[in-house]
Structure 1
Amino acid sequence: MTDWKAFTVETENHVAQVTLIGPNKGNAMGPDFWRELPEIFTELDADPDVRAVVLAGSGKNFSYGLDLGAMSHLFGPLLADKALAAPRTDFHNTVKTMQASITAVADCRKPVIAAVQGWCIGGGVDLIAAVDIRYASADAKFSIREVKVAIVADMGSLQRLPAIIGDGHLRELALTAKDIDAARAEKIGLVNDVFDDADAVLAAAHATAREIANNPPLVVQGTKDVLGEERRTVVADNLRYVAAWNAAFLPSHDLTEAVSSVFEKREPDFKGE
């Protein structure tokens, strides 16, 4: 395996562990994350020694989501007055590339189990929505936060979570951007089970991965493929739609206000403009 900047990857007894390591606070998702994620999962998919994957975060949190500081260059051209076709097209292409990074996790033929501790925000929820099984520690907290920063979530939560938690729960989370704890996440089906702490949730994820790895690998891959067939086209179509929607409608005074308020550490004042 390559030496990665945003991840570590270790494989033992047919189980790979992919760990988010930042480099910024809370394993926030910067350029290295988006570039490396599909490369890692393409390699794991092709590796015959890997039969299951555990996805974890380092430190106290799984992920704070999109690294707004490191990724702010995406929004600058869009927020210029009278942004024309070129910056909108560039943004549209970038969104599709980032979507493909998350989709590489969903498309990996090897089952993926997420072990979540601490915060899992925005892009972190997009990421765990793409895995097969989700476990959480008791201190885990989840938030589909994008609406609070004047963005329509466009990396997969809105597309994949209806089949996981149902339409009503998803609408509540996506439209309010509220935080929920591990107990609530388990109740609505966002996570399969809750464990005492980060060590326990990681151990549980590895135990399940080993159970999967002990089964016939091609049959496991076939089972995952069949389970995903019904929603694969629906997800892909909706990802294309939201990428086009955001390229057309995302530029706004509210987005400028949202980004400014984050860096100025104050509450935003949205005007609907």
Structure 2
Amino acid sequence: MSEWKAFTVESKDHVAQVTLTGPGRGNAMGPDFWHELPLIFGELSADPDVRAIVLTGSGKHFSYGLDLPAMSPLFGPLLQDRALARPRTNFLKQIREMQAAVTAVADCTKPIIAAVSGWCIGGGLDLIAAVDVRLASADAKFSLREAKVAIVADIGSLHRLPGIIGEGHLRELAYTAKDIDAARAEKIGLVSDVYADQEAVLDAAHAMAREIALNPPLVVQGIKDVLDQPKVGRVADGLRYVSVWNAAFLPSEDITEAIQSVFEKREPEFKGK
């Protein structure tokens, strides 16, 4: 495997562990994350020795989501030149590259188990929506946070979570941008089980991965392919639609206010402009 800046990757006994490492606080997702994610899962998908994957975060948290300071160049030109085609076209291209990074996780031929502790926010939720099984520690907290930063979530949570938690629960999380704890996440089906602490959930994820790895690998991959087939086209169409929607409508006074409030460490005041 290659050397990575935003991840570590280890493999033993047919099970790989992919760990988010930042460098942003709380494993926030900056440029290195979006560049490396599809490369890593492409390699793991093609590696015949890997039969199952555990995905987790370093430190206390899974991920704080998008690293806004590091990714601000993504938004800056669009907000400065609202009416021009070039910044909108560039923004659309970047959205689709980020979508493709998470889709590479969903398309990985090997089953993926997420072991989530601490915060899993925004892009973190997009990421775990693309895996096969989600487990959590008791301290885990989840938030589909995009509405609070004046963005329509566009990396996959709105398209993959209906099949996981149902549309009603998804609409509540998306409209309110509220935080939910591990107990609520288990109740609505976002996670399969909750464990006492970070060590316990990681152990449980590895135990499940080892159990999967004992089965015929091509059969397991075939099961995943058959289960995924009905949703592939629907998700792809939805991602394409939301990328165009955001490229057209995302420039606003509200998103400028959201970004400024993050840097100024205060509550935003949205005006619907």
TM-score under structure 1 length normalisation = 0.99
Q: Which residue of 2 aligns with 1:263?
A: 263
Q: Which residue of 2 aligns with 1:170?
A: 170
3-state SS of paired residue (1:10): strand
What stretches of structure 1 of length at least 5 have no aligned partner? none
Shift of 1:83: 3.2
- The answer to whether residue 60 in structure 2 is matched with residue 42 in structure 1 is no
Q: 2:81 touches 2:87 (CA, 8 Å); kept in 1?
A: no
Q: 1:77 touches 1:83 (CA, 8 Å); kept in 2?
A: no
Task: State the Cα deviation string for residues 145-196 of structure 1 (Å, max 9, x = none).
Answer: 0000000000000000000000000000000000000000000000000000
Superposition map of 1:192-203 within 5 A? 192-203=192-203
CA–CA separation in structure 2 for the residues paired with 1:79 and 1:37: 27
Q: Which residue of 1 aligns with 2:230?
A: 230
Identical amino acids, percent of aligned pairs: 75
Shift of 1:80: 1.1
CA–CA separation in structure 2 for the residues paired with 1:166 and 1:252: 30
Superposition map of 1:68-147 within 5 A? 68-147=68-147
Q: Which residue of 1 aligns with 2:22?
A: 22
Equivalent residues, number: 273
Task: State the Cα deviation string for residues 38-89 of structure 1 (Å, max 9, x = none).
Answer: 0000000000000000000000000000000000001011111443111000
Superposition map of 1:145-164 within 5 A? 145-164=145-164
Q: Which residue of 2 aligns with 1:184?
A: 184
CA–CA separation in structure 1 for the residues paired with 2:63 and 2:257: 24
3-state SS of paired residue (2:83): coil
Q: 1:125 to 1:82 in 2, by over 3 A?
A: closer
Shift of 1:115: 0.1
CA–CA separation in structure 1 for the residues paired with 2:46 and 2:65: 27
Q: 2:116 touches 2:201 (CA, 8 Å); kept in 1?
A: yes
Which residue type is aligned with residue 74 of structure 2? L
Which residue type is aligned with residue 250 of structure 2? L
Shift of 1:264: 0.2
Shift of 1:202: 0.2
Q: Which residue of 1 aligns with 2:209?
A: 209
Q: Which residue of 2 aligns with 1:239?
A: 239
Q: Which residue of 1 aligns with 2:60?
A: 60
3-state SS of paired residue (2:10): strand
In the TM superposition, structure 1's runs of 4+ consecutive aligned residues that sit over 4 Å from their partners are none
CA–CA separation in structure 2 for the residues paired with 1:100 and 1:92: 12
State the superposition RMSD in angstroms: 0.5
3-state SS of paired residue (2:34): helix
3-state SS of paired residue (2:62): coil
Larger CA deviation: 77-86 vs 106-115: 77-86
Which residue type is aligned with residue 119 of structure 1? W
Q: Which residue of 1 aligns with 2:220?
A: 220
CA–CA separation in structure 2 for the residues paired with 1:92 and 1:229: 26
3-state SS of paired residue (1:75): helix
Which residue type is aligned with residue 132 of structure 1? D
Which residue type is aligned with residue 122 of structure 1? G
Shift of 1:18: 0.1
Which residue type is aligned with residue 31 of structure 1? P
CA–CA separation in structure 1 for the residues paired with 2:83 and 2:223: 46
CA–CA separation in structure 1 for the residues paired with 2:169 and 2:264: 32
CA–CA separation in structure 2 for the residues paired with 1:23 and 1:16: 21
What stretches of structure 2 of length at least 5 have no aligned partner? none
Q: 2:54 touches 2:205 (CA, 8 Å); kept in 1?
A: yes
CA–CA separation in structure 2 for the residues paired with 1:231 and 1:47: 25
Q: 2:143 touches 2:180 (CA, 8 Å); kept in 1?
A: yes
CA–CA separation in structure 2 for the residues paired with 1:133 and 1:83: 43
Which residue type is aligned with residue 94 of structure 2? T
TM-score under structure 2 length normalisation = 0.99
